[in-house]
Amino acid sequence: MKRFMVMLNGNINKDPPPTKLLDLAGQLCQNLQSSSPVLEKLVGAMMGCKHKTHFLTNIHVVRACVSVHVHKGQHDRACKLLEYCKAEEKEELVQLWHEIHYQRVMEKHHMDFLTPLQKFRSRRRNPPPISLCPQGLKNRNYSDEVRQQLHRFAAEVTRNPNKKQREGLARDMNLRPSQVYNWFANYRRRQK
């Protein structure tokens, strides 16, 4: 930690900061995960300097900063940090985004854990920003045309197609047989 602070102060005017400094920051954040007061001091030093955006390219630094903000109850700051960080591990950033919101829900309702349904609802209410999902959020819904064909088959042929019928439908609609199977299972459940 002392070595990092000396390097940080020695390179305060260099832009961009040396790679050694950024690597050391990531290594320290990875090693200090359980040591909250020291980690808070480290995060404060990194976020208080002008090289803040350079530090936020390292996933270990981002994770440490989010952890400190969440520990302090600063969920909005943690979300803002994720929204503007430049780390390349997008899937992990999305997972951190969801974990922040899970923590917020648990604190609000004084709970120790969330059920899968509660997590699902939290993800639905708090989708990650486009900066974390540049290709867009995955759409799990079928097109109107596919849904109409499936509904028509359920109404005119059967609500419980056999394996051969499911494979034919899957081929016709460019789906996997398991998707057709699940759609009909959910359809029958909704009809009850």
Average pLDDT of every residue of the chain: 86
Would you say residue 140 has pLDDT above 70?
no
Are 56 and 112 in the same domain?
yes
**pLDDT tens per residue across span 80-138:** 988 888 888 888 889 999 999 999 999 999 999 999 999 999 998 998 888 887 666 56
Task: Confirm if 165 and 157 have CB atoms less than 8 A apart.
Answer: yes
Q: Is residue 138 part of a domain?
A: no
What per-residue confidence (pLDDT) applies to 184?
93
Same domain as 16, residue 48: yes
Do residue 57 and residue 83 come from a single domain?
yes
- Is 124 in the same domain as 164? no
CA-nearest of 138, 134, 48 to 25 is 48
List % helix, strand, coil for the chain (3-state, nearest 5): 65, 0, 35
Same domain (yes/no): 157, 74: no
Average pLDDT over residues 29-53: 82
Query: 63 and 27 in one domain?
Result: yes
Domain end marker among 85, 108, 132: 132
Could you tell me the pTM of the whole model?
0.65
Please check whether residues 154 and 128 belong to one and the same domain: no
Pair 150, 180 in one domain: yes
Range of the domain at 154: 144-191
Q: Which two tokens stand for residue 29?
A: 């954040």
Give the amino acid at 159: R
**Could you tell me if 109 and 34 lie in one domain?**
yes
Q: CA of 151: how far to CAs of 156, 165, 180, in Å?
A: 9, 14, 11
Which residues neighbour 166 within 8 Å (Cβ) at sequence distance 6 or greater?
177, 180, 181, 184
Indicate whether 47 and 21 sit together in one domain: yes
Q: In sequence order, which residues have a C-beta less than 8 Å from that of residue 77 and are 6 or more positions away?
A: 69
pLDDT at 116: 93
Assess if residue 94 is contained within a domain. Answer: yes
Report the C-alpha gap between 106 and 104 in whole angstroms. Answer: 6
68 in a structural domain: yes
| Cβ(19)–Cβ(25) below 8 Å | no
Q: How many domains does the chain have?
A: 2
- Does some domain include residue 182? yes
Query: What would the pLDDT profile of 150-172 be if each residue is shown by its tens digit?
Result: 999 999 999 999 999 999 999 99
Residue identified by tokens 């939290």 is 122
Asked if 149 and 127 sit in the same domain, the reply is no
Residue 137, domain member (yes or no): no
Q: Which residues contact 43 (CB under 8 A, 6 or more apart)?
A: 29, 64, 65, 68
Amino acid at 164: K
